[in-house]
């Protein structure tokens, strides 16, 4: 199956400009003609279309709830999961180093390339075609959303819990940063200075590890 057939099957469209499709699938490791500019465009288009969909689906949601729902759909790990469902990794154009380094499976590359493809669709076929493509790819996720999911992030929830009880704010301590520069894994501990609660979290960024650690402490506090 060539890339146009794959695009038709997964996104429901074909690009008139085949060169643009090749560029959208090209990681910066292949050279200067890569997908970074298209990723910039696709990120904005995706954010708008998802915001528009959420605004329509949840007329009673406030701004904060809509923002949290949007983040749950467009954060890097969520986009990487969508990309895997689409077998996007098999379509990537990577330099030899990235191929051998597992680039076809890396969250950041998959998420960025998905955004670049959406940018290419918008540029070549227009925003309406891109809206349809996003609807096709994200339909099950849109349908599965519930307003109760629009909870504040774990670090914010933990902070508010502690402040409401007059307790000091938690300390986040970096325990380890392992792996190559392009594939770091962080381990962070969340510690409460006035109690026994302490937990570690692991993530592909320090922020993600902090959120995971905060979640674990919330569970210890019975606030999961």
Residue 115: active-site member: yes
Which residues neighbour 51 within 8 Å (Cβ) at sequence distance 6 or greater?
66, 70
Which CATH architecture describes the domain 3-149?
A: Orthogonal Bundle (1.10)
From CA 112, how far away is CA 69, in angstroms rounded? 20
Q: Where along the chain do its domains lie?
A: 3-149, 154-220
What per-residue confidence (pLDDT) applies to 172?
96
Q: Do the Cβ atoms of 170 and 198 come closer than 8 Å?
A: no
What per-residue confidence (pLDDT) applies to 224?
65
112 is in an annotated binding site: yes
171 is in an annotated binding site: no
How many helices (H) and strands (E) are present in the chain, helices listed first?
A: 10, 3
Phi, psi of 178 (to 5 degrees): -115, 160
Given 43, 98, 124, 210, which residue is catalytic? 43
223 is in an annotated binding site: no
Given 98, 115, 124, 204, which residue is catalytic? 115
What per-residue confidence (pLDDT) applies to 42?
97
What per-residue confidence (pLDDT) applies to 100?
85
Those residues of the chain that have pLDDT short of 50 are none
How buried is residue 196: exposed, middle or buried, by Cβ count under 10 Å (0-12/13-18/19+)? Answer: exposed
Report domain 154-220's class. alpha beta
What per-residue confidence (pLDDT) applies to 6?
96
Which residues neighbour 142 within 8 Å (Cβ) at sequence distance 6 or greater?
53, 57, 135
Residue 62: active-site member: no
Phi, psi of 198 (to 5 degrees): -155, 140
First vs last Cα of the chain: how many Å apart? 45
Cα angle, residue 41 at apex, residues 206 and 14 outer, rounded to 5°: 120
Handedness of CA 203, 207, 208, 210 (dihedral sign): positive
What per-residue confidence (pLDDT) applies to 45?
98
Nearest of 75, 73, 88 to residue 144 by alpha carbon: 73
DSSP state at residue 151: P
The sheet carrying 185-191 orders its strands as 171-178, 185-191, 198-203
């Amino acid at each position: 199956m060539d890339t146009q057939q794959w695009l038709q099957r997964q996104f429901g469209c074909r690009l008139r400009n085949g060169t643009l499709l090749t560029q959208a699938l090209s990681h910066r490791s292949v050279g200067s003609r890569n997908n970074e500019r298209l990723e910039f465009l696709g990120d904005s288009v995706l954010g708008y279309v998802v915001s528009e969909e959420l605004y329509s689906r949840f007329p009673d949601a406030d701004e904060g709830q809509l923002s949290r729902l949007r983040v749950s759909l467009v954060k890097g790990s969520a986009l990487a999961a969508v990309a895997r469902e689409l077998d996007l990794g098999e379509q990537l154009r990577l330099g030899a180093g990235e191929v051998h380094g597992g680039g076809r499976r890396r969250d950041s590359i998959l998420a960025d390339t998905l955004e670049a493809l959406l940018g290419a669709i918008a540029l070549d076929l227009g925003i309406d075609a891109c809206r349809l493509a996003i609807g096709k790819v994200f339909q099950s996720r849109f349908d599965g959303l519930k307003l109760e999911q629009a909870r504040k992030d774990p670090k914010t929830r933990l902070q508010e819990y502690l402040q409401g009880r007059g307790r000091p704010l938690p300390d986040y301590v970096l325990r380890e940063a392992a792996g190559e520069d392009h594939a770091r894994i962080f381990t962070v501990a969340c510690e409460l200075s006035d109690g026994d609660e302490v937990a570690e979290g692991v993530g592909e960024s320090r922020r993600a590890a902090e959120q995971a650690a905060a979640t674990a402490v919330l569970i210890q506090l019975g606030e999961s």
